[in-house]
Chain A
Amino acid sequence: MKVKILQWHSVASWTWDAQDETCGICRMAFDGCCPDCKFPGDDCPLIWGSCNHAFHLHCILKWGRKLHLVHVVLSRVQAPGSLATVGKSRDLPFYMAPNFR
């Protein structure tokens, strides 16, 4: 007897693989989305600071705007895989708190 597979439709879940469970700003799950977003995934990317902490991109932008942090270190975002996630935001200036708790 031979088995011929005609179609194998499998199921998978995705994860950001962000070591941590929740975003330090909004306390929402990384695999979910920030409070302002409707859909997780592509629509609500993560960002990794030089401290290696991950945040929702939208959360960190909002937080920065709110505190008018001009003296913080401008750091280039270092995303582990670069490209897809960070691609859109590469050229944006990011104001990151030096010792963000």
Chain B
Amino acid sequence: MQLVDDADGALDSWARFCDLSDELFGGAGDLSAGPRLAPVVADLCARGLAELLRDQFIRSLEGIFRSNAVKKFWQQFHPYCNSSAVERIKFCVQENWPEDILSKALEDICLEKNYQEKCVLALVHSLQSYEDRSPHRKSKALDCSSSLMPRYQLMVSSVLLTTLPLSFPEILNVYFKKKLEELNIMMAGLDGSDPFDNHDLFERNSTSAWHSEMDIDGQEPGISESRNLVKNIGKVVRDLRYLGFTSMTEDSYSSAIIWLLKSKVHELAGDDYRIPVLGCVKKWIQAVPLKFLHALLTYLGDSLDNESGSSGLKSPLASRPSSFPGIGVPSEALVRWHMRLEYFAYETLQDLRIGKLFEIIVDYPESSPAIEDLKQCLEYTGQHSKLVDSFISSLRYRLLTAGASTNDILHQYVSTIKALRTIDPTGVFLEAVGEPIRDYLRGRKDTIKCIVTMLTDGSGGNANGTGNAGDNLLEELNRDAENQENVDYDDHTNIDEKQAWLNAESWEPDPVEADPLKGSRNRRKIDILGLIVSIIGSKDQLVNEYRVMLAEKLLNKSDFDIDSDIRTLELLKIHFGESSMQKCEIMLNDLIDSKRTNSNIKTSLSKTSQTVGTVQEETELSHEVLDATIISSNFWPPIQTEDLTVPASVDQLLSDYAKRFHQIKTPRKLLWKKNLGTVKLELQFEDRSMQFTVAPVHAAIIMQFQEKPSWTSKTLATAIGVPVDSLNRKISFWTSKGVLTESVGPDADDPTFTVVDSTSDFNKNSTVNQLSERFQITEEEGESSIASVEEQLRKEMTVYEMFCIAEPSYDKSLQQLQSFLSGLVSDEKLEMRDGSYLLRK
């Protein structure tokens, strides 16, 4: 009976409890049912039904929450979630989307939750009042009352998370991106003034009054605007957290910040390598995202919590001395954010720069700010290996190909060395990067020649000629070397114990990527010249090539001006040692001696000729026209000598000269190398004159036509003492200039050459109609006196190029084409029949 009574009572109480809770839930803000709940709850608890009661309460709350708030909440986002990817973009473009929907929906659901929380609190109070009265059961009921709220929170977030549409994070992301972008634009507009300066405003208001109006107190509208913006974002974040989306929210806004940072870095960095970017990025990080985060964190009350809680347990990260202007002592969360953002900025910029490293190095040294940025980034991230891998692959793809000229590769190599030397003074990465280039260059035949040219030519280390004229790579290297030496010198003189200790302290190990087999960096001072020489293998080869080139250059000189060569030689001596440059020095010395001897002989010759009289001056040449370079042949590279019979008048000059030399320098004798040297001459026609600078053989040929206007090639060859085929090759110079014409006589192998004397004749054969024209043949046209395989190859190459390359439009004049074709004819590659050129089979 007792049992039945009990059961009835329990059922009664249960029913009343259910009624009351329904009344409470449906009360629409009316919590009057709360106090009436207490006796019922106490009764049920006394019967040991506390847990059942709690579960029932939560379950009914869940039902209501699910059917009312959650459904409504998600419905707001349905249009977006149900649309296709294309339509979603349209949503994103809308101005106030998802801002309006999101804040509205959040407000609604938060209100609902807020109300339900009050209901929960009512039950908690009832439970607590019961507990207070019955101490012996305290433990169990207390359990119920204190776990009620957390259980409710858990229920809310689990309901929301289980019903979460997949694209909700996306919406959040779009929201934060849009807001941050808005903020960024606002900040860019402000630029300088500090909207978050009086940040304590947020702290003051953070606890409750987030609806309160901002006090604008006469500040710029932009500032209060941006502060309002942060406040709105803060509100959304708060609501989201309130609903249990804490981590999702954090994910969203951090990814939005990162995204913004990334686009900012890309925007700032761009393709301009001439300005440093890192400073701007850092400044921007402090100006926009950090200020935003600070405002947000303060608004949410996080920074206060952290500051009070973590003062004793400071993370090592926070010990970094970082205080932000206008923020004061930063909270730990903010410091972490700061580091995170900076690291990300470094990484982004680094990736961007590494991807473009090839272009950056092409632009070096204009691009050195970019290199400096990259260096700082790498110091932070330590991802040097990324640089090496990516750069090597772009080298292989873009530089080490058949299409790149050896010169370009070498220039890029030098720039690479210089650039990487800035990034990594230890040279470890340079070694890795340089190896493929060196390997590749070793496979090219003209490498040595190009290196020598690069070292000694006026345009020097800069292919585009932007450097100072006359400033070659060697001079630059020398300057570098001097600077380095000065530094070294300082090191040694000031070394006392203290300094030694400081040096020892500042010692840094090689990077981990260093190859232990290659020695430590003390032994590995970066020496550009050494690196270049290491391409070839030994300096002897380089010196030898230089000697050959120098010889050719000196022999083709028509004056004795060798100042720049002396300077170059002095520089080479510094790098390669005096003894290896000995022969080159003798060569230059020969030129100096020649100049002296030459003037000596000429003055004494002119004296004697004056005494002899001026009878023969009309026909004979004056001694003034003859200059001679007198060489110590043992020290020059082997010189190609060919027989050549010069005209008698010139021959007379030469022998007079030699005789005079023998008198002055007894018992030394002169041996003429008649095919070498240069001749400046003027061709005087009836109505015009032309000046040329040619090789002696060309002069000898044309001078023969003074006696007789027409020669067959065989007789002419005998007259000037050269083989016929060689003559045919040489004479094409004159036919190409339109001075001689070639006509095939009875014997096909023995064409006749006739001088084109008058303009009318001349016009028939050539389109040249200027009366006087000045031709200057370049070294390419003149026959090279030094045998060089590369030279030969290069010549062939230019011939082939003229056949192959059609891309740059043909810009040569008709005469140039004619000269080229007649060159081919004389090389027996083409033949000319009836005025048209045919390929010779």
B699 at the A interface (CB under 8 A): yes
> Of A5, A11, A16, which one neighbours B629 at CB under 8 angstroms?
A11
Q: Tell me whether B582 and A38 are in contact (CB under 8 A).
A: yes
Is A68 interfacial (CB-CB < 8 Å)? no
A2 within 8 A of B: yes
Answer whether residue B41 sits at the interface, using C-beta atoms and an 8 A cutoff: no
- Assess the B684–A1 pair: CB atoms within 8 A: yes
For residue A98, CB closer than 8 A to chain B, the reply is no
Which residues of chain A come closer than 8 Å to B703, judged between CB atoms? 3
Hey, which chain A residues are within 8 Å of B93, CB to CB? none
Among A1, A3, A13, A46, point to the contact of B630 (Cβ < 8 A): A13
> Are A16 and B671 in contact, CB atoms less than 8 angstroms apart?
no
B691 in contact with A5 (CB, 8 Å): no
* Residue in chain B with minimal CB distance to A30: B634
Q: Specify which chain A residues have a CB less than 8 angstroms from the CB of B672 in the assembled complex.
A: 10-12
Interface-lining segment among B230-238, B472-480, B564-572, B660-668: B660-668
CB-contact partner of A5 in B630, B681, B755, B757, under 8 A: B681
Chain A 8-37: CB-based contact to B (< 8 A → 1; otherwise 0): 111111111110000000000101100000
| Distance in angstroms between the alpha carbons of A11 and B661 in the assembled complex | 13
Partner pick for A10 among B582, B632, B636, B677, CB 8 A cutoff: B677
**Of A4, A9, A32, which is within 8 A of B628 by CB?**
A9
Q: Chain A interface residue count: which class?
A: 20 to 34
CB distance from A9 to the nearest CB of B (A): 5
Inter-chain contact B677/A8, CB cutoff 8 Å? yes
Closest chain B residue, CB of each to CB of A32: B634
Docked-complex contact B632 and A13, CB < 8 angstroms: yes
B709 interface hit (Cβ, 8 Å): yes
Q: How far is the CA of A31 from the CA of B633 in the complex (A)?
A: 8
The stretch among B157-165, B293-301, B430-438, B650-658 that forms the contact with chain A is B650-658
Q: Is B586 an interface residue (CB 8 A)?
A: yes
Q: How many A-B residue pairs have CB under 8 A?
A: 157
Contact B666–A12 (Cβ < 8 Å):
no
Would B706 and A2 count as touching, CB distance under 8 A?
yes
Residue of A5, A15, A17, A46 with highest tally of chain B CB at under 10 A: A5
Q: Could you tell me if B627 and A13 are in contact, using CB atoms closer than 8 angstroms?
A: no
Provide the residues of chain A in CB contact with B593, threshold 8 Å: 41-42
B702 CB–A CB distance under 8 Å: yes
**Bound-complex Cα distance A46 to B634 (A):** 16
Q: Is the CB of B679 within 8 A of A4?
A: no
Contact of B670 among A1, A13, A85 (CB under 8 A): A13
Q: Is A82 touching B666 in the complex (CB atoms < 8 A)?
A: yes
Does residue A40 face the partner (Cβ distance < 8 Å to B)?
yes
| Chain B CB within 8 A of A92 CB | no
A97 on the interface (CB 8 Å rule)?
no
For B678, list chain A residues within 8 Å (CB). Answer: 7, 9
The interface residues of chain B lying within 8 Å CB-to-CB of A39 are 585-586, 589
With contacts A8-B696, A12-B628, A31-B634 taken as known, whether A17 is within 8 angstroms of B667 at the C-beta atoms is yes
* CB-nearest residue of chain B to A46: B667
- Minimum CB distance partner of B598 in chain A: A9
Q: How many Å lie between the Cα of A35 and that of B50 in the bound state?
A: 117
Partner of A14, one of B625, B669, B685: B669
- The minimal Cβ–Cβ distance linking B690 to chain A, given in whole angstroms, is 10
CA distance A2 to B427 in the complex (A): 65
Cα separation A12 to B621 with both chains bound (whole Å): 19
For residue B635, CB closer than 8 A to chain A, the reply is yes
The reply to whether the CB of A83 lies closer than 8 angstroms to some CB of chain B is yes
Contact B666 A80 (CB under 8 A): yes
Check A67 for interface membership: any CB of B closer than 8 A.
no
Task: Tell whether, in the assembled complex, residue A10 and residue B696 are in contact, meaning their CB atoms are under 8 Å apart.
Answer: yes
When chains A and B are docked, how far (Å) is the Cα of A82 from the Cα of B664? 11
Docked pose: A13 CA to B706 CA in angstroms: 30
Write out the residue numbers on chain A whose beta carbons fall within 8 Å of the beta carbon of B625. Answer: 5-8
Contact across chains for B626 and A81 when beta carbons are under 8 A apart:
no
Q: Are A85 and B666 in contact (CB under 8 A)?
A: yes
Query: Assuming the A-B contacts A11-B677, A85-B667, are A4 and B629 also in contact, with contact meaning beta carbons closer than 8 angstroms in the complex?
Result: no
Contact of B815 with A by CB under 8 A: no
A79 at interface, CB cutoff 8 A: yes
B691's partner among A6, A15, A41 (CB-CB below 8 A) is: A6
For the complex, give the distance between the alpha carbons of A42 and B586 in Å.
12
Contacts A3-B702, A31-B634, A84-B666 hold; do A11 and B673 have CB atoms under 8 A apart? yes
**B683 contacts the other chain (CB 8 A):** yes
- Please state if A80 and B667 are interface contacts (CB–CB under 8 Å): yes
Which of B555, B625, B668 has the most C-beta atoms of chain A within 10 angstroms of its own C-beta?
B668
Q: Does B631 sit within 8 A of A, measured CB to CB?
A: yes
B681 to chain A, nearest CB (A): 5
When chains A and B are docked, how far (Å) is the Cα of A7 from the Cα of B666? 27
Give the chain B neighbours of A82 by CB distance below 8 A: 666
* Residues of chain B within 8 A of A16, CB atoms compared: 667-668
Is there contact, CB below 8 Å, between A81 and B667? Answer: yes
Flag if A9 contacts B668 (CB, 8 Å): no
Q: From B758, which residue of chain A is reached at the shortest CB distance?
A: A1
A12 and B680 contact, CB distance less than 8 A: no
- Please tell me if B674 contacts chain A, counting CB pairs below 8 Å: yes
The closest CB in chain B to the CB of A15 belongs to B669
- The reply to whether A1 and B683 form a contact with Cβ atoms under 8 Å apart is yes
Q: Chain B residues near A38: list those with CB within 8 A.
A: 582, 585-586
- Kindly identify which residue among A13, A46, A79, A80 contacts B633, using a CB–CB cutoff of 8 Å: A13
**Shortest CB distance A56–B (Å):** 13
* Chain A residues with CB under 8 A of B557: 9
Is B676 close to A, CB under 8 A? yes
- For A42, the chain B residues whose CB sits under 8 A away are 593, 665
Residues of A within 8 A of B679 (CB): 5, 7-9
Do A14 and B667 have beta carbons less than 8 Å apart?
Answer: no
CA distance A100 to B685 in the complex (A): 66
Q: Is the Cβ of A9 less than 8 Å from the Cβ of B677?
A: yes
Residues B695-723 near A (CB distance < 8 A): 696, 699, 702-703, 705-706, 709
**Is B682 an interface residue, CB under 8 A from the partner?**
yes
* Alpha-carbon distance between A31 and B625 when the two chains are bound, in angstroms: 28
B558 lies within 8 A of chain A by Cβ: yes
In the assembled complex, the CB of B816 is this many whole angstroms from the nearest CB of chain A, namely: 23
- Distance in Å from the Cβ of B746 to the closest Cβ of chain A? 25
Which chain B residues border A15 with CB–CB below 8 Å?
A: 633, 668-669, 671
CB A73 to nearest CB in B, in angstroms, measures 23
Instruction: Give A41 to B757 CA distance when docked, in angstroms.
Output: 48
Given that A3-B706, A10-B676 are known contacts, is A29 also in contact with B670, CB under 8 Å in the complex?
no
Give the chain A neighbours of B632 by CB distance below 8 A: 13-14, 31-32, 40-41
Whether A9 touches B706, Cβ cut-off 8 Å, given contacts A14-B671, A41-B593, is: no
Q: Which residue of A lies closest to B593 (CB)?
A: A41
- Tell me how far the C-beta of A4 lies from the nearest C-beta in chain B, rounded to whole angstroms: 4
Chain A residue at minimum C-beta to C-beta distance from B739: A1
In the bound complex, residues from chain B placing their C-beta under 8 Å from that of A41 are 593, 632, 668
Chain A residues within an 8 Å CB radius of B582: 38
Which B residues lie within 8 Å of A84 (CB)? 664-666
Tell me the bound Cα distance from A41 to B589 in angstroms. Answer: 10
**Closest chain B residue to A28, Cβ basis:** B634
B621 touches A5 (CB 8 A): yes
- In angstroms, how far is the closest chain A Cβ from the Cβ of B562? 14
In the assembled complex, which residues on chain B have CB atoms less than 8 Å from the CB atom of A83?
666
Chain A nearest Cβ from B29, distance in angstroms = 111
What residues of chain A lie closer than 8 Å to B635, measured between beta carbons?
Answer: 32, 40
Other 20 A-B pairs with CB < 8 A, given A5-B681, A41-B593, A85-B667: A1-B709, A5-B621, A5-B680, A7-B558, A8-B625, A8-B680, A8-B696, A10-B654, A10-B672, A11-B628, A12-B628, A12-B629, A13-B632, A13-B633, A13-B636, A13-B671, A14-B671, A31-B632, A41-B632, A84-B664
The 7 closest A-B pairs by CB, nearest first: A81-B666, A11-B676, A13-B633, A81-B667, A6-B680, A10-B677, A7-B680
A/B interface sample: 21 pairs, CB < 8 A: A3-B705, A5-B621, A7-B625, A7-B679, A9-B628, A9-B629, A11-B673, A11-B677, A12-B628, A12-B630, A13-B632, A13-B636, A13-B670, A14-B631, A14-B632, A15-B633, A15-B671, A17-B668, A81-B666, A84-B666, A85-B668
* Chain A residues engaging chain B, CB cutoff 8 angstroms: 1-18, 29, 31-32, 38-42, 46, 79-85
